[in-house]
Structure 1
Amino acid sequence: MSDKKIALQIKNLKVSYGAIQALKGIDLTVYEGDVVAILGANGAGKTTTLKKISGIIESEGGSIELYGQDITKMEPEKIARLGISMSPEGRAVFRDLTVEENLKAGAFTVKDKATIQRNFDRVYRYFPVLKERKSQVSSTLSGGEQQMLAIGRALMSSPKVLLLDEPSLGLAPLIVQDIMKIVKEIKEEGTTVIIVEQNAAQTLKIADYGYVIELGLVNTHGKASDLANDPKLVEAYLGKH
């Protein structure tokens, strides 16, 4: 594992919302080409971590480096141009725009038309239903299709690191399986993925490495296969088997 490049390095990251400290100094190392799962209960600090990586919120301590470049205090647009893209919790598609217009909006950092076309082709290959519905207004899509669109839109900027926030939220188990399968394909094509999930069992099946965050601190971390077999973790997050 150590012969891989480090794509993203987080050191002692601290974030507060007013008097509430959401992250109390977390460390994460994400290697290029891996799927890294961030697990934990509601309010643990998982979404805060992704928001900070993408520059949406400010931190009060610690650092984030993308391929050795410090992005801790960078504007979100600059971070996006450097290759970090996020599919947010709750999908947040542009409801009044068509599928195709939503995807095009995701390519705002890409100037090359051929690259944009390649990204369209890639997204439609992962999610053929989006191609069928490309002229449809996004608000008319099912929850699963909107989730596919949110992931597709994030892929339109050719990200080096793709951030997925709760992609399985509110979806039927079969759809969740489909989405996880596609996340694996995205990784196999060379994109590094950080996935925040409450559905720990499904996520650890496709992840290489996992971090469990509890009350703003990393409680445990390790290879996904080890975490999936950790009895304490199984009881806390995967439901008792």
Structure 2
Amino acid sequence: MSSVTPAFKGRLAEAAQYALLRRLAPAIRHNMAGSLQPIGMIAAMLERRLQGATPDLAQLGKNASDISALSREAASSCMNLMTWLAPRESEPVPMNSGLDEALQLLATELSFRGFTLVNEIGEVDTQVRRSALRSVVTASLIALTDAAASPASIVLSARVLDGETQLFIELVAAGGAAATSSPQAYRQLGWDDVQALADIEEIGLLHFENRIELRFRGVDAPFT
């Protein structure tokens, strides 16, 4: 009989979640900056126009309206990014939209490191926990690419079989120079980290050298 208690599993998952958030922090910061940058650009334009000899009041009004709209969008985006730090427990989300959110967060950083995301999933309407996609999927992507020796395409595919959604993530070598690691990375993520997160989210996990399989049973049917 296993000596690993539920409390100990929870501590392992907590440690893995901390390591994952440290790795995700640059991507979260980059996305927040991207949301705020347009506001600064419009504000600088507005300032220059105010300094003109005869300011165009109609144009100034338009710039002010643009800043207001961009501020609302940035606030919404930043609030959503902050939920990565304190996720809502068991919040259900369609797999497609939840995966898109996770992939969009990591796409730029993975691209800088020489990896290209290829989403071949298609339409999968399974309802899964958002926290599972944000933790297990992102940790799987980071662990897989941390272990990669060279740039590659990251191909994602899925299928639904007997009420179970299977998500496949595979590295397809692209050749070229060695993959670039993040210079400010907290530490590499290992499969023990991913397994701890998968256990707490009740996700089935199989991993190989260049391939991962994740098995989801939806929000109302935990994996067994």
Pairwise TM-score range, normalised by the shorter structure: under 0.3
- Which protein has the bigger strand share? 1
| Greater Cα radius of gyration, structure 1 or 2 | 2
The normalised TM-score by structure 2 is 0.26
The normalised TM-score by structure 1 is 0.25
